[in-house]
């Protein structure tokens, strides 16, 4: 895409009321726009990153047998009364409103109850189990504080999956399979090394739930990790009993600040009993369903990556979720140089490589600054000076090394993974 045609603008300053590094960078680089604290619009560059994150998650959820659908935001009070979660004293993040036609209405902060309710139409026999469904859905939460940018929004995009299983074993198998699928997601996002499956409070149903926590100074959680043993424990269950059961001692653990980028939760049969979701087993006996829920904060992942993968000049996207792979820049008024850049642009596009071509009438300094701020993995400069050095100037965003590669070798260079041989 030509940058002159891209609907985006970089900015020198973020809004004065924006405290978080992730939103400051993403606003300045033109990925998002701030509506109010905790509420952001996705501009075209931001949409591209979010779509890439979604597609990775979609592939992994489909691979474990998930079916994609989408629930409404508007929710009825009835759906939440059986489990006693309509009450603002129990759930303190509800946005509620009143229907002109009469009655109260809620805006989805979670979908466990509506989905369990809907499943009554789909599950009646053991033959209907197991079933796994997921959605990418905009959640709304009436957070008292919203100072972490897109890491904790009042409106945010979440992938939530739900498993409905016939018994504990079937549930447990899928639960473990999903842990692996989640690990693949975080690896593919480029934050796998710093993301830990973390033992956390299991609530009323089980001893532990599992969170996926990524190390970042901007995180709101504190966990204890041991990298060698690949063990991580949330502060809330950090006690001698937990340590003993995991076979680890205090001195082996390091305390780190983290952000929760995913969580998985075992409801056992409790919620289905409360909501009366039963199936007839092989003997025709009504039996409650085992429910699990599995979340990934899609916009939060983008925020965590903006926090972790950035430097003083701007964002540094991993290739898997970068809005483009190559940022092609050209400098000066020389028509031949511009034509050469345009040819390379078309060659890259024809090779199926996503490229942003900075064709704007603007000085080299401003173009280089914008490229650093936007953070596309490969910066390629076509200029008179680069030509003197024998081709195209190539610099990876995450390195300070500059290479010169002849234009006809650029595509094979990229296809070989950016190694100049």
Half-sphere exposure of 28 (CA within 13 A, CB side): 25
Round to the nearest angstrom and report the end-to-end CA distance of the chain: 28
Token couple for 311: 């430097």
b/e 16-36 (16+ beta carbons within 10 angstroms → b): eebebbbbbbbbbbbbbebee
The rounded distance, in Å, linking the Cα atoms of 307 and 217 is 8
- Site size toward a copy of itself (CB under 8 A) is 51
Q: Among residues 82, 91, 105, 202, which is the contact residue for a copy of itself, using CB under 8 A?
A: 105
Closest CA to 330 of 369, 366, 359, 371: 359
- Least Å distance, CB 114 to a copy of itself, is 7
Choice from 49, 56, 129, 140 touching a copy of itself (CB under 8 A): 140
List the interface residues with a copy of itself, window 6-65 (CB under 8 A): 6-7, 9, 11, 33, 35-37, 39-44, 46-47
Q: Does 107 bind a copy of itself (CB under 8 A)?
A: yes
C-alpha to C-alpha distance for 347 and 252, rounded to whole angstroms: 53
Q: Does 133 bind a copy of itself (CB under 8 A)?
A: yes
How far, CA to CA in Å, does 15 sit from each of 21, 40, 46, 138, 214?
12, 12, 18, 24, 27
Q: What's the closest the beta carbon of residue 47 comes to a copy of itself, in angstroms?
A: 6
Instruction: Tell whether residue 282 is a contact of a copy of itself (CB under 8 A).
Output: no
The answer to whether residues 142 and 298 touch, using CB atoms and an 8 Å cutoff, is: no
Per rule CB under 8 A, is residue 75 in the interface with a copy of itself?
A: yes
Can you tell me which of 19, 59, 68, 408 binds a copy of itself, judged by CB under 8 A? 68
The interface region with a copy of itself, picked from 135-143, 175-183, 285-293, 370-378 by CB under 8 A, is: 135-143
173 binds a copy of itself (CB under 8 A): no
The distance of closest approach from Cβ of residue 41 to a copy of itself in the complex, given in angstroms and rounded to an integer, is: 5
Q: Which stretch binds a copy of itself (CB under 8 A): 140-148, 259-267, 335-343, 382-390?
A: 140-148
Please give the helix or strand (H or E) that residue 38 lies within, else none: none
Q: Is the Cα dihedral 309, 315, 321, 327 positive or negative?
A: negative
Q: Is 118 exposed, middle or buried (0-12, 13-18, 19+ CB in 10 A)?
A: middle
125 is a contact residue toward a copy of itself (CB under 8 A): no
> What is the nearest approach in angstroms of a copy of itself to the Cβ of residue 104?
11
Alpha-carbon separation of residue 16 from 29, 37, 398 (angstroms) = 16, 12, 28
289 binds a copy of itself per the rule CB under 8 A: no
The closest of 261, 297, 303 to 139, measured between CA atoms, is: 297
Q: Indicate whether 246 belongs to the interface with a copy of itself (CB under 8 A).
A: no
State how far the Cα of 248 lies from the Cα of 241, in Å rounded to an integer.
10
114 binds a copy of itself (CB under 8 A): yes
Per-position x/- string for 152-171, each x denoting binding to a copy of itself as judged by CB under 8 A, each - no binding: --xx----------------
Site for a copy of itself contains 179 (CB under 8 A): no
91 touching a copy of itself, by CB under 8 A:
no
Q: Binder to a copy of itself among 96, 169, 229, 276 (CB under 8 A)? A: 96
Contacting a copy of itself (CB under 8 A), which of 142, 183, 187, 242? 142
d(Cα 84, Cα 308) in Å, to the nearest integer?
39
Q: Which of 54, 76, 235, 403 binds a copy of itself (CB under 8 A)?
A: 76
| Contact with a copy of itself (CB under 8 A) among 143, 160, 211, 359 | 143
Is residue 402 at the binding interface for a copy of itself, with CB under 8 A as the rule? no
> Crossing angle of helices 21-28/298-308, nearest 10°?
90
Q: Rounded to an integer, what distance in angstroms lies between the CA atom of residue 361 and that of residue 329? A: 11
Contact between 218 and a copy of itself per CB under 8 A: no
Per CB under 8 A, residues contacting a copy of itself are 6-7, 9, 11, 33, 35-37, 39-44, 46-47, 67-76, 79, 92, 95-97, 99-101, 105, 107, 114, 118, 121-122, 131, 133, 138, 140, 142-146, 154-155
């Amino acid at each position: 895409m030509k940058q002159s045609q891209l609907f985006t603008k970089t900015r020198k300053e973020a809004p004065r009321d924006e405290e978080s590094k992730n939103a400051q960078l993403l606003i300045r680089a033109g990925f998002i726009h701030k509506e109010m604290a905790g509420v952001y619009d996705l501009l075209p560059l931001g949409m591209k990153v979010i779509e890439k994150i979604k597609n990775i998650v979609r592939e992994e959820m489909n691979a474990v047998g998930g079916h994609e659908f989408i629930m409404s935001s508007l929710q009825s009070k009835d759906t939440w009364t059986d489990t006693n979660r309509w009450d603002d004293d129990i759930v303190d993040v509800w946005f509620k409103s009143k229907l002109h036609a009469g009655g109260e209405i809620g805006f989805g902060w979670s979908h466990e109850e509506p989905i369990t309710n809907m499943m009554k139409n789909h599950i009646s026999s053991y033959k209907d189990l197991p079933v796994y469904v997921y959605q990418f859905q905009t959640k709304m939460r009436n957070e008292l504080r919203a100072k972490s940018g897109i890491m904790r929004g009042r409106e945010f995009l979440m992938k939530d999956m739900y498993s409905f299983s016939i018994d504990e074993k079937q549930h447990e198998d899928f639960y473990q399979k999903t842990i692996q699928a989640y690990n693949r997601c975080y690896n593919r996002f480029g934050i796998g090394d710093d993301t830990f499956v973390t033992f956390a409070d299991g609530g009323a149903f089980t001893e532990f739930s599992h969170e996926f926590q990524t190390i970042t100074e901007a995180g709101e959680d504190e966990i204890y990790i041991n990298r060698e043993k690949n063990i991580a424990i949330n502060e809330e269950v950090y006690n001698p009993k937990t340590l003993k059961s995991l076979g680890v001692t205090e001195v082996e653990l390091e305390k780190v600040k983290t952000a929760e980028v995913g969580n998985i939760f075992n409801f056992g049969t409790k919620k289905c009993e409360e909501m009366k979701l039963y199936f007839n087993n092989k003997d025709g006996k009504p039996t409650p369903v085992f429910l699990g829920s599995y979340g990934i904060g899609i916009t939060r992942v983008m925020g965590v990556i903006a926090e972790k993968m950035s430097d003083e000049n701007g964002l540094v996207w991993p290739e898997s979720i970068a809005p483009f792979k190559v940022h092609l820049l050209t400098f000066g008024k020389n028509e031949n140089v511009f034509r050469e850049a345009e040819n390379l642009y078309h060659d890259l596009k024809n090779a199926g490589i996503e490229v942003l071509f900075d064709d704007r009438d603007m000085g080299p300094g401003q173009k280089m600054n914008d490229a650093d701020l936007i953070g596309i993995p490969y910066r390629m400069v076509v200029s008179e000076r680069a030509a003197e050095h024998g081709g195209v100037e190539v610099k990876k965003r995450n390195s300070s090394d500059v290479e010169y590669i002849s234009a006809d070798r650029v595509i094979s260079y990229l296809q070989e993974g950016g190694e100049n041989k």
